[in-house]
């Protein structure tokens, strides 16, 4: 089916009417924070099945006076689609694909912050998420702007990249693209703040369980593994299989990822430096701290930046890349707005170029 993109690329003030489905999760609230200050958006609908008919500022008082919309249910999905140029979806896996399927005959464009549209091969999604994909025919684009910018411009459905995957892929993409590493030697060790687990109450996220603790989880089975492998394979043209181990740290937000890989024979430190600058030298949201640097989560807190630093171990002939992002911004809502800006034809950093919060 052909979609009438003139519906969203309006002339004049070019303000886009946007809606958020699942606005009361952490990512949804972060979207509202960012979009309420975006000069080219008008928020028209926000939904929540748990807080229907309540004002969002009652659920999140920090939004008082910035966004006081009343939360709706999804009963009027067709109407929401008709009113909106873009819909952001912030729901758990398994829900966005049904919404996308039901809206498939409307020209509204979708940015899904979940996993339903991240995989080109729906069978991989079903294997790792244990959910039947109900919209496998959907034409979707992976929403990692620094890698797929041109495809995002015209995409109707954008599967926003995951938080761990953003940190891991951006760390390794230059090395894979320039074939500087053995792609079967990759190990990613990542630590995330607890907001990455969502807002729903869970014993493992209970303060006495979390405080003064540090733990790994989903070893060998984390769902972001095939997402990283898919994208790195695409970038380098070689099949990538890797080990990814996530950890939970007792902080609210932020991800620090450490990626290890064996360098190919003859690769020098200068070649590694050049690979990072060649791919990211003009990227606004990627800050190259350089060889020998140590990115920290506090340096990117509340921002859409990804800080990268890399080290080379001559003894083991390995490269170690450190990446730091805010999981709720560059790893979720900020990245969604970055993708929206590209798709809507706006400046890519419009509304999301604020400096990180410090301390």
Could you give the residue numbers annotated as active site? 163
Count other C-beta atoms under 10 Å from residue 283's C-beta.
Answer: 15
Q: At which residue do the structure tokens 């990542």 appear?
A: 190
Q: Which residues contact 87 (CB under 8 A, 6 or more apart)?
A: 18, 19, 20, 21, 80, 81, 99, 103, 108, 109, 110, 111
Angle, CA 358 vertex, CA 354 and CA 359 arms, to 5°: 165
Query: For residue 123, what is the enclosing H or E element?
Result: helix 122-129
Count other C-beta atoms under 10 Å from residue 1's C-beta.
Answer: 7
Tallying the residues shown for the chain, one arrives at 359
- Please tell me the distance from the alpha carbon of residue 60 to that of residue 69, in angstroms, as a whole number: 11
Q: Helix axis angle, 225-236 relative to 122-129, nearest 10°?
A: 150
Alpha-carbon torsion (332, 334, 337, 339), positive or negative: negative
Alpha-carbon torsion (187, 330, 307, 40), positive or negative: positive
- Please tell me the distance from the alpha carbon of residue 199 to that of residue 201, in angstroms, as a whole number: 6
- Please tell me the distance from the alpha carbon of residue 28 to that of residue 128, in angstroms, as a whole number: 24
DSSP state of 205: G
- Please tell me the distance from the alpha carbon of residue 141 to that of residue 158, in angstroms, as a whole number: 5
Residue 289: phi and psi, rounded to 5, are -75, -20
């Amino acid at each position: 089916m052909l979609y009438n993109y003139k519906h969203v690329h309006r002339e004049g003030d070019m303000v886009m009417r946007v809606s958020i489905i699942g606005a009361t999760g952490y990512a949804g609230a972060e979207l509202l924070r960012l979009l309420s200050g975006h000069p080219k958006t008008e928020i028209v609908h926000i939904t929540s099945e748990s807080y229907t008919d309540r004002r969002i500022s009652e659920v999140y008082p920090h939004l008082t006076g910035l966004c006081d919309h009343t939360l709706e249910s999804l009963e009027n999905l067709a109407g929401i689609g008709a009113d909106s140029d873009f819909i952001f979806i912030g729901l758990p896996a398994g829900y966005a694909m049904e919404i996308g399927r039901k809206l498939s005959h409307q020209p509204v464009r979708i940015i899904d912050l979940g996993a339903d549209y991240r995989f080109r091969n729906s069978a991989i999604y079903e294997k790792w998420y244990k959910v039947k994909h109900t919209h496998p025919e959907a034409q979707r684009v992976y929403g990692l702007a620094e890698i797929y910018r041109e495809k995002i411009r015209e995409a109707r459905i954008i599967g926003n990249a995951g938080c761990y995957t953003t940190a891991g892929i951006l760390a390794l993409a230059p090395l894979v693209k320039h074939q500087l590493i053995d792609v079967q030697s990759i190990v990613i060790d990542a630590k995330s703040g607890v907001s990455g687990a969502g807002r729903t109450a869970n014993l493992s996220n209970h303060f006495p369980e979390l405080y003064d603790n540090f733990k790994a989880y989903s070893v060998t089975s984390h769902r972001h593994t095939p997402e990283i492998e898919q994208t790195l394979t695409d970038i380098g043209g070689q099949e990538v299989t890797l080990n990814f181990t996530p950890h939970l740290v007792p902080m609210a937000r932020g991800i620090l990822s450490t990626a290890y890989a064996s360098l190919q024979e003859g690769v020098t430190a200068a070649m590694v430096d050049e690979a990072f600058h060649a791919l990211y030298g003009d990227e606004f949201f990627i800050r190259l701290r350089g060889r020998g640097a140590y990115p920290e989560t506090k340096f990117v807190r509340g921002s859409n930046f990804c800080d990268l630093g890399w080290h080379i171990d001559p003894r083991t002939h390995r490269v170690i890349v450190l990446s730091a992002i805010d999981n709720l911004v560059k790893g979720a809502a900020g990245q969604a707005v970055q993708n929206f800006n590209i798709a809507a034809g706006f400046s890519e950093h419009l509304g999301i170029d604020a400096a990180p919060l410090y301390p």
